[in-house]
Amino acid sequence: MMTYSPSRLDTYRQCPQKFKFHYIDHLSSPTEGIESFMGSRVHETLERLYCGLRYNKVLSLPEVLADYKQRWESEWHDHVQIIREGLTPDDYLYVGEQCLTDYYHRYAPFNQSRTLGVEYPLRFSLDPSGKYVMQGNVDRLSQPKEDVIWIHDYKAKGFLPTQDTVDADRQLAYYQMGVQQLWPQTKEVVLVWHYLIFDREFHSSRTQASLEALRQETIALIQEIESATTFPPKQSSLCDWCEYRNICPLFRHLYETSTLPKSTYEKEEGVALVNRLAALQAEEVSLGIEMDKVKEALCAYAAQKGVETVFSKTHKARIRTYDNTQFPGRNDNGRQALETLLKREGKWEEVSSLNTVALSKALQNGAWGLELSSEVQKHGTPHKSLWVKVFPLDEGAKEHRF
Ligand code: SF4
């Protein structure tokens, strides 16, 4: 079984497809967002600052900034990506310098507490048998007084969280579980976030009951991941920053067609099908045979290419396949036995006159429980349903970002 970390679990929660790319297929992306690049350099400089304190060496602010700049220059690579228009690497370099300057002025000479560790590796178990193991590196652990431990996390993100957001944060709650396992005599654990861009410090704490709820929820999530056979893409605003966009089934078609010459672009099969479907939809030929044919061709194209969204310059079509059960029609074999079963179980009224669509839905949403569902399933045959919908693209829509 995998060892899990807060970021591994969060990746799965955010998007199972991204989790698969990263943690199962081990696909590394050559690109790195500049926000992440800048955050890493700031973290490294703060690590150096606190390591020096162990030997009573307090770096001056110019030394801190020189350390940051030297790391920036030595780590810089050609694949650092800037998403926000109009910003340059120097703009981000400056933001990092400002973060460190504000931090320095706020905490120098850094004697608020004893530092127990920086980039401290925690490894702990979620269950007594040691089956579900978690690990992670804490930015800094400190001890302001006997039997009290503060868990620090530096954030170089450009948004300020609410107190509710930090109170619901899982990452440091996991670290609290680890700290309590390693040092059970600890009387109090405080979770501390340093939002460096805003020069703000947030505090939060967790009750043992909330940690227990998180522990159980996490074990259930790990069990779900370990038994998952499919890892569907989950579109969200975070897709804009996803390093796997160019291979993701929701965006890959856009990237693959972006390099086509103008003369062949409109003729590309997927582009042509989406445009045809959009035109038919505009003509409101929704029940026409041609519409069905175009949808079928689009589904075949998507299956062959391994994509779920197909783009043209003006539209995109989403194609989904889901497992379903097809039941015998009114005059088919097996119909009578199915009706008898449903009447016996008192479910007949719910699908009156045996609406097989309603029956499929009742099974799909799991409302009838495992035992009855599997007995009803025996009367049907597995079937794949397809769903195709075409949407207009806005001018300059996010999908067009490369
Ligand atoms: S682009 Fe979005 S949907 Fe695709 S893998 Fe990344 S996070 Fe998931």
- First and final C-alpha spacing in the chain: 36
Q: Are residues 58 and 176 in the same domain?
A: no
Residue 199: give its domain's CATH number: 3.90.320.10
Tens digits of pLDDT across the chain (402 residues): 788 999 999 999 999 999 999 999 999 877 888 999 999 999 999 999 999 998 889 999 999 999 999 999 999 999 898 888 899 999 999 999 999 999 999 999 999 999 999 999 999 999 999 899 999 999 999 999 999 999 999 999 988 999 999 999 999 999 999 999 999 999 999 999 999 999 999 999 999 999 999 999 999 999 999 999 999 999 998 898 888 998 999 999 999 998 899 889 999 999 999 999 998 888 765 556 788 888 889 999 999 999 999 999 999 999 987 777 788 887 788 888 888 898 888 888 787 666 777 788 787 777 787 788 888 888 887 777 777 878 888 644 444 443
Q: Are residues 256 and 191 in the same domain?
A: no
Q: Are residues 265 and 396 in the same domain?
A: yes
Closest by alpha carbon to 35, among 98, 100, 93, 118? 93
The last residue of a domain, from among 64, 80, 111: 111
Q: Are residues 208 and 96 in the same domain?
A: no
With respect to residue 352, please indicate whether it lies within any of the assigned structural domains: yes
177 CB under 6 A from ligand 1?
no
- Tokens 């162990």: give the residue: 54
Q: How far apart are CA 4 and CA 269, in angstroms?
A: 42
With respect to residue 236, please indicate whether it lies within any of the assigned structural domains: no
Return the ligand 1 atom nearest residue 233 CA: 3
What separation in Å is there between the alpha carbon of 234 and the centre of ligand 1?
Answer: 6
Q: Is 384 exposed, middle or buried (0-12, 13-18, 19+ CB in 10 A)?
A: exposed
252 CB under 6 A from ligand 1?
no
The last residue of a domain, from among 111, 136, 155: 111
Total structural domains in the chain? 4
pLDDT in tens, 210-233: 999 999 999 999 999 999 999 999
Q: Are residues 258 and 300 in the same domain?
A: yes
Is there a contact between 155 and 163 (Cβ–Cβ < 8 Å)? no
pLDDT in tens, 160-177: 999 999 999 999 999 999
With respect to residue 22, please indicate whether it lies within any of the assigned structural domains: no
Q: Are residues 252 and 355 in the same domain?
A: no
Q: What is the rounded average pLDDT for all residues in the chain?
A: 89
245 CB under 6 A from ligand 1?
yes
Closest CA to ligand 1's atom 2 = 239
What separation in Å is there between the alpha carbon of 237 and the centre of ligand 1?
Answer: 10
What percentage of the chain exceeds 90 in pLDDT? 64
Q: Are residues 139 and 159 in the same domain?
A: yes
Range of the domain at 258: 245-322+387-400
Closest CA to ligand 1's atom 7 = 239
pTM for the model stands at: 0.76
With respect to residue 12, please indicate whether it lies within any of the assigned structural domains: no
List C-alpha distances in Å: 255 to 15, 33, 118, 244, 339: 20, 18, 41, 11, 50
Residue 225, C-beta contacts closer than 8 angstroms, at least 6 positions apart:
2, 12, 19
Structure tokens belonging to residue 137: 């590196």
The last residue of a domain, from among 72, 91, 111: 111
What separation in Å is there between the alpha carbon of 258 and the centre of ligand 1?
Answer: 18
With respect to residue 67, please indicate whether it lies within any of the assigned structural domains: yes
With respect to residue 19, please indicate whether it lies within any of the assigned structural domains: no
What separation in Å is there between the alpha carbon of 17 and the centre of ligand 1?
Answer: 7
Q: Are residues 279 and 394 in the same domain?
A: yes
Pairing of strands 80-81, 32-33: parallel
List C-alpha distances in Å: 214 to 171, 189, 208, 221, 228: 11, 16, 10, 10, 21
Q: Are residues 216 and 340 in the same domain?
A: no
15 CB under 6 A from ligand 1?
yes
Return the ligand 1 atom nearest residue 244 CA: 6
Q: Are residues 98 and 50 in the same domain?
A: yes
Closest CA to ligand 1's atom 5 = 18
With respect to residue 73, please indicate whether it lies within any of the assigned structural domains: yes
Q: Are residues 176 and 270 in the same domain?
A: no
- Tokens 């801190």: give the residue: 64
Question: Per the omega criterion (within 30 degrees of 0), is the bond before 184 cis?
Answer: no
Q: What is the pLDDT of residue 398?
A: 43
Q: Are residues 392 and 288 in the same domain?
A: yes
Structure tokens belonging to residue 219: 């074990």
233 CB under 6 A from ligand 1?
yes
pLDDT in tens, 25-35: 999 877 888 99
pLDDT in tens, 350-381: 876 667 777 887 877 777 877 888 888 888 87
Q: How far apart are CA 58 and CA 61, in angstroms?
A: 9
